């Protein structure tokens, strides 16, 4: 079920989905009588509106590109994987502040993200209220629709918890008049996560393993998402310092059990196939946002507007805005040793493949002798290197402000610029390529992580096998070829499998965390992984020290204690009439 189907009557649904939450200053746009709502057609409008939340737009705010559902700014630019990019530091200044960890509670980008997510939760609650009242004889598949919407609501709440930590909770049973009295510290992070996981598991007991419409929530999605939430929950944090104080092995055992119940998925044979529309609902796709093009909805269609700003800019054939650029540190992390294994201390080495720049027509790369994981050139667009299947020129001068951000751009999430699947014109680089919220590789890594932290019996060895399975896919994917001589590889690629010898718990943990970064680079998850593991300050401090010679704006960047989560937006504090408390690490509300 591509978006063109599930959102067919979306405009009507927007009209009647009640988003009148007081704390959002959101006025109801209409109402429906019980008689009208007691029908499958009317209920489906509200359910479709809840699904549309994955798409990023709300009635009130139509700019998901600066509050992206893909989390490119919140999960990657705020971490060590990416720079903001665009036209310099002042271009979307709010995201630059995230990048250098100088975020204030009046950052409009954060307020908009909070606002959007609660608007989408309100849609889910509206659908659930109507479903709960509906006559089962009149509304087809009532129980299934309730389960689907609970998973969607859980997704939006999960995003809120890992962004803001202290968040208010309202479900479909709470009268809207009571919203103004809800605090944001009634429940801890762990309690929120437990509730989200419970909703997911309840839904899994109702949903089928597959739905007849592609894109609709099914049992496998509910189980996979419950496993992800419980993985986060297992890392118990001190409420004041956010330090990890315990890793709950019982929860990790549940993670393993849940992932084992997810059936019918596999890795694609070729890593680069993840960015081909032909594979978007293929064997690796567990839960994806469904996009479409040329569907009669205006502009290019229901494309991924969250990535609107991010297609390569400069002299690229995309003619994009050039935000979201891979960091040099990420590029360096793909270096491998003589066995093709990651170099954990890569920051002690010189930067890999830096650009010697003469003019727009002549660039060369220095220090290209080290071996690198082939995923580097699956993920990153590097000067002089072949970009996907584009034959006119190699990737070169495809960054808008090279003086500030260097010369590398993103390669993931775009179809090749000559592809008939790419929309011509604005929005630049758009296509109907889905966005993967959970893919099968994620589940293999989550299970490996849980097994390593449990550290019992044959679990460590099973984790090694799981990680090697992902590395083996990268090893056997067709490598990027030299632009001028396609008989040669574009770089000195070498990737190996982890041997059993020396596979201790400490080494396995390093391997897992590195693999998570290399496999999932730029997918919007990196910063949340660092916070879950309790190593955000350590990693980001090392990153700022390593990068400040390349990116001068990092000179004053520092990760201060308590900044693992964003501040509660001051606008939301005002909407709550003073009921909200600020996260540790930021000035208290007065």
Where exactly are the structural domains of the chain? 3-264+564-575, 305-524
State residue 300's pLDDT score. 87
- Per-residue DSSP letters for 521-586? TTSS-HHHHHHHHT-HHHHHHHHHHHHTTT-GGGGG----TTTTSPPPPHHHHHHTTT---PPTTS
User: How confident is residue 418, by pLDDT bands cut at 50, 70 and 90?
Assistant: very high
Q: Which CATH class is domain 3-264+564-575?
A: mainly alpha
State the Rg of the chain over Cα: 23
State residue 62's pLDDT score. 64
Share of the chain above pLDDT 70, in %: 92
Is 383:407 a contact under the CB 8 Å cutoff? yes
3-state secondary structure 326-379: ECHHHHHHCEECCCCCECCCHHHCCCCCEEEEEECCEEEEECCCCCECCCHHHH
CA distance 211 to 408: 41
Task: Write out pLDDT tens, residues 530-553.
Answer: 999 999 999 999 999 999 999 999
pLDDT for 3 beyond 60: no
State residue 10's pLDDT score. 35
Task: Write out pLDDT tens, residues 468-499.
Answer: 999 999 999 999 999 999 999 999 999 999 99
SS3 call for 289: strand
Residues in the chain: 590
Torsion of CA 288, 327, 77, 302, to 10 degrees: -40
**Mean of all residue pLDDT scores within the chain:** 91
Annotation: CATH topology of 305-524 = 1.25.40
SS3 call for 131: helix
User: How confident is residue 456, by pLDDT bands cut at 50, 70 and 90?
Assistant: very high
State residue 526's pLDDT score. 98
CA distance 341 to 518: 12
CA distance 287 to 438: 5
Buried b (16+ CB within 10 A) or exposed e, 263-293: eebebbeebbbbbbbebbeeebbbbbbbbbb
State residue 58's pLDDT score. 67
- The separation between the first and the last C-alpha atoms of the chain, rounded to the nearest angstrom, is 49
Neighbour tally for 218: CB within 10 Å: 24
pLDDT for 9 beyond 80: no
State residue 20's pLDDT score. 32
CA distance 380 to 365: 14
CA distance 544 to 359: 29
Residue 533 has φ and ψ, to the nearest 5°, of -75, -10
Q: What average pLDDT score do residues 160-171 get? A: 98
CA distance 79 to 72: 10
What's the pTM?
Answer: 0.93
CA distance 57 to 67: 10
State residue 363's pLDDT score. 87
pLDDT for 31 beyond 50: no
CA distance 177 to 556: 45
Task: Report the DSSP beta bridge partners of residue 401.
Answer: none
Task: Report the DSSP beta bridge partners of residue 410.
Answer: 380
Task: Write out pLDDT tens, residues 316-335.
Answer: 999 999 999 999 999 999 99
State residue 6's pLDDT score. 37
Q: What average pLDDT score do residues 346-368 get? A: 88
Residue 257 has φ and ψ, to the nearest 5°, of -60, -45
Q: Which residue has the higher pLDDT, 359 or 529?
A: 529
State residue 30's pLDDT score. 41
CA distance 432 to 86: 23
- The angle formed by the CA atoms of residues 97, 98 and 102, to the nearest 5 degrees, is 50
pLDDT for 106 beyond 60: yes
Q: Is there a common fold for 3-264+564-575 and 305-524?
A: yes
CA distance 573 to 556: 29
- The angle formed by the CA atoms of residues 425, 430 and 435, to the nearest 5 degrees, is 175
| Burial classification of residue 197, based on how many CB atoms lie within 10 Å of its CB (0-12 exposed, 13-18 middle, 19 or more buried) | buried
Is 105:565 a contact under the CB 8 Å cutoff? no
Task: Write out pLDDT tens, residues 251-306.
Answer: 999 999 999 999 999 999 999 999 999 999 999 999 999 999 988 777 888 999 99
């Amino acid at each position: 079920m591509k978006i063109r189907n599930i959102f067919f009557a979306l405009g009507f649904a927007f009209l009647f989905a009640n988003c009148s939450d007081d704390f959002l200053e959101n006025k109801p746009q209409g109402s429906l009588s019980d008689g009208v709502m007691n029908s499958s057609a009317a209920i489906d409008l509200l359910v479709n509106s809840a699904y549309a939340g994955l798409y990023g737009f709300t009635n009130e705010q139509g700019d998901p590109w600066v509050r992206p559902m893909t989390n490119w700014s919140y999960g990657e630019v705020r971490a060590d994987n990416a720079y903001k990019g665009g036209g310099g530091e002042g271009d979307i200044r709010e995201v630059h502040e995230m990048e250098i960890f100088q975020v204030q509670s009046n950052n409009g980008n954060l307020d908009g993200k909070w606002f959007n997510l609660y608007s989408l939760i309100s849609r889910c609650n509206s659908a659930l209220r109507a479903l709960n009242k509906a006559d089962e004889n009149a509304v087809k598949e009532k129980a299934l629709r309730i389960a689907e919407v609970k998973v969607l609501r859980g997704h939006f709440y999960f995003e809120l918890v890992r962004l803001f930590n202290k968040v208010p909770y309202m479900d479909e049973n709470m009268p809207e008049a009571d919203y103004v009295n809800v605090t944001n510290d009634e429940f801890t992070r762990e309690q929120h996560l437990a509730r989200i996981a419970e909703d997911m598991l309840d839904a899994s007991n109702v949903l089928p393993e597959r739905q007849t419409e592609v894109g609709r929530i099914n049992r496998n999605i509910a189980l996979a998402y419950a496993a992800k939430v419980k993985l986060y929950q297992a890392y118990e944090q001190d409420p004041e310092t956010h330090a990890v104080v315990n890793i709950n092995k019982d929860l990790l055992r549940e993670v393993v059990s849940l992932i084992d119940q997810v059936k019918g998925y596999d890795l694609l044979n070729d890593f680069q196939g993840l960015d081909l529309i032909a594979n978007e609902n293929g064997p690796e796709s567990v839960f994806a946002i469904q996009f479409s093009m040329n569907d009669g909805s205006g502009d290019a269609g229901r494309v991924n507007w969250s990535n609107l700003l991010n297609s390569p800019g400069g002299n690229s054939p995309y003619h994009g805005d050039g935000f979201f650029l891979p960091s040099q540190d990420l590029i360096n992390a793909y270096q491998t040793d003589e066995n093709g294994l990651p170099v954990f201390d890569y920051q002690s080495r010189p930067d890999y493949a830096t650009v010697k720049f003469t003019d727009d027509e002549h660039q060369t790369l220095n220090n290209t002798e080290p071996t690198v994981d082939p995923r580097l050139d699956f993920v990153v667009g590097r000067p002089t290197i072949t970009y996907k299947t584009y034959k006119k020129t190699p990737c070169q001068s495809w960054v808008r402000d090279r003086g500030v951000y260097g010369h590398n751009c993103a390669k993931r999430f775009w179809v090749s610029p000559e592809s008939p699947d790419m929309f011509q014109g604005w929005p630049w680089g758009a296509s109907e390529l889905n966005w993967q919220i959970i893919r099968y590789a994620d589940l293999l890594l989550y299970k490996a992580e849980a097994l390593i932290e449990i550290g019992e019996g044959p679990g460590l060895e099973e984790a090694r096998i799981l990680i090697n399975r992902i590395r083996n896919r990268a090893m056997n994917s067709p490598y990027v070829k030299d632009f001028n001589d396609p008989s040669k590889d574009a770089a000195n690629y070498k990737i190996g499998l982890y041997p059993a010898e020396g596979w201790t718990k400490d080494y396995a943990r390093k391997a897992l965390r590195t693999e998570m970064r290399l496999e999932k680079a730029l997918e919007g998850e990196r910063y949340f992984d660092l916070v879950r593991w309790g190593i955000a300050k350590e990693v980001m401090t090392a990153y700022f020290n390593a990068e400040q010679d390349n990116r001068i704006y990092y000179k004053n960047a520092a990760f201060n204690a308590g900044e693992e989560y964003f501040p509660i937006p001051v606008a939301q504090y005002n909407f709550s009439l003073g009921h909200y408390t600020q996260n540790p690490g930021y000035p208290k509300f007065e």
